[in-house]
Amino acid sequence: MLPFLTEGDAELRTEALRSLRKLASPDTLSLLPSVLPLVREGNSDERMLILAIVEKIGDTAAIPPLLWAAEHFSSGESRRLEAIISGMGLKSIPAVIHLLRNVSAPFHSRSVALRALSRLAMPQLLLITEELIEDELRRAQAAVAAHRALLAGGGSGVGETVLIRYYRDAASEGLEFVLEVLSLTGRLPDFDLIRASLAFANPRDRANAIETIQQSCTRVLFQRICELIEATVPSSGLQQSISTAMSVEQVLKQATDSSIALEASAGFVAFRERGLPDGFELLRARVDRSDPGQINEWLIALLPRFVDTEVDFALAAHPVDRVAALVRAEFFTDARILALDYLANHAVDHSWAPGEVVYDEDAATEELFIITEGKVEVQRSKGNWTASAGATFGQRVLMGDQRRQERAVSRGCRALVLPGRVVMRAIEIFPAMGISLYQFKTISAVA
């Protein structure tokens, strides 16, 4: 049965998982090394089957890889994982607390761990609450300082474009994590309502949310939370300030030492783009001390960019380049960097010569296109329009249409191509991105 798990046929793989679910028991621990690696790239059905297998086996060794994979879980999958961890009982507490204390772990993963621990053992959560809040506030405040330094530096290269969005979102995630901790420990009512009021509500509701936060914590903690609200919530009405001053070079050096692949890689790219000295030596030293894995692979892929030569290498696009293209796309203005990183990892870079047809009117709507260079003429019955760098076309893939109903002709362009199923999966994982897309950004597809 196990050999079928590596088959390219999704239906065959799903049937194999269904069969393994029936066989799974505490005596089948040997199944875990074969099924757990599939959870990251599997579809929703496969993930739910894997979670069911883990539940029947009941081994806490599965908790760390599942929590790390929860970075790209939908809400339903996250709740299922919470229930499984809770069902394992007190023996799962050490693994959950270990991940909670790791500030490098993905935001979604830590949130799932936090909710699971609150259901499992509230006394243990209360014991580490102050530690969690302090660590998260310190990280979020550092992100705010880095974000402001990069904005003041005025850089517009690929690396700094990614880091500016990365640090903005890191501060927002830090604020949300602290508010969720306060809510789960009974100090703040209804975290989801407070978060929504801060993000979307009118000024009166936002002020009520801030007053509710004030009543739930000490004066010192409230002041630190206010600093994050002022930095991350537009028109918050607060006048707090995070005074820590950093230079751009300090921010970039700090980024290059990160244990997160996107932050570290973007830091090195920005280092190179600014022409700062000793970049190659810094990168080589970082590669030498990095363990095998994503961060090591991303950093190795950057090495050719730091080699000075008269030969014009045609360098392949790096994941940071793809993330930067999505950050610059107006279509994804409100998307979090985590969502863009997910999309970038599934995007394909493609180019078309002038006059080449990208798709015809009767073509199936299977992909979304984000232009990184050049232009495309989109021809419709109501008139033509020209899409240039930063623009998106082919939005009908998100609207349920079976056919394009328009023709796209290249004027010489390069674009990121996103399969429609990937975008829909990203919306499932990151609902806020879906709300922003469907509110008004698909209107241009039928204008």
344-354 burial, b at 16+ Cβ within 10 Å, e below that, comes to: bebbeeeebee
Nearest CA to 160 out of 173, 174, 149, 144 is that of 149
| H or E stretch at 378 | strand 367-380
Task: Tally the residues of the chain.
Answer: 447
Residue 342 pLDDT exceeds 50: yes
pLDDT above 90 covers a percentage of the chain that reads 60
Helices 107-120 and 122-153: crossing angle, nearest 10°?
160
- Distance in angstroms (rounded) separating the CA atoms of residues 164 and 284: 25
- Lookup result for tokens 């991105």: 433
Alpha-carbon Rg for the chain, nearest whole angstrom, is 23
Residue 445 pLDDT exceeds 80: no
Q: What is the pLDDT of residues 250-284, one digit of tens each?
A: 999 999 999 899 999 999 999 999 988 888 999 99
- Distance in angstroms (rounded) separating the CA atoms of residues 267 and 250: 10
For position 47, what pLDDT does the model report? Answer: 93
Cα–Cα distances in Å, from 45 out to 17, 74, 78, 180, 430? 10, 12, 14, 29, 18
**95 confidence band (pLDDT: 50, 70, 90):** very high
Cα–Cα distances in Å, from 215 out to 53, 130, 136, 328, 351? 44, 17, 20, 39, 56
* Strand 367-380 versus strand 392-393 pairing type: antiparallel
User: Backbone phi, then psi, for 386, in 5-degree steps?
Assistant: -110, 125
Q: Where are the beta strands (DSSP E) in 153-205?
A: none
For position 189, what pLDDT does the model report? Answer: 87
Q: What is the pLDDT of residues 34-54, one digit of tens each?
A: 999 999 888 889 999 999 999
Q: What is the pLDDT of residues 179-237, one digit of tens each?
A: 999 999 999 988 888 888 887 767 888 888 899 999 988 999 999 999 899 888 766 54
Question: Which of the listed ranges 78-87, 100-109, 292-301 does the model predict with the highest average pLDDT?
Answer: 78-87
Cα–Cα distances in Å, from 382 out to 20, 88, 202? 54, 60, 37
Q: What is the pLDDT of residues 162-188, one digit of tens each?
A: 999 999 999 999 999 999 999 999 999
Cα–Cα distances in Å, from 328 out to 158, 185, 371, 373, 390? 10, 39, 10, 12, 6
- Distance in angstroms (rounded) separating the CA atoms of residues 175 and 317: 33
* Residue 396: both structure tokens together: 């009908």
* Residue 29: both structure tokens together: 């621990």
* Residue 368: both structure tokens together: 């979304």
Nearest CA to 332 out of 371, 359, 367, 364 is that of 371
How far separated are the first and last CA of the chain, in Å rounded?
51
Nearest CA to 371 out of 315, 419, 427, 411 is that of 411
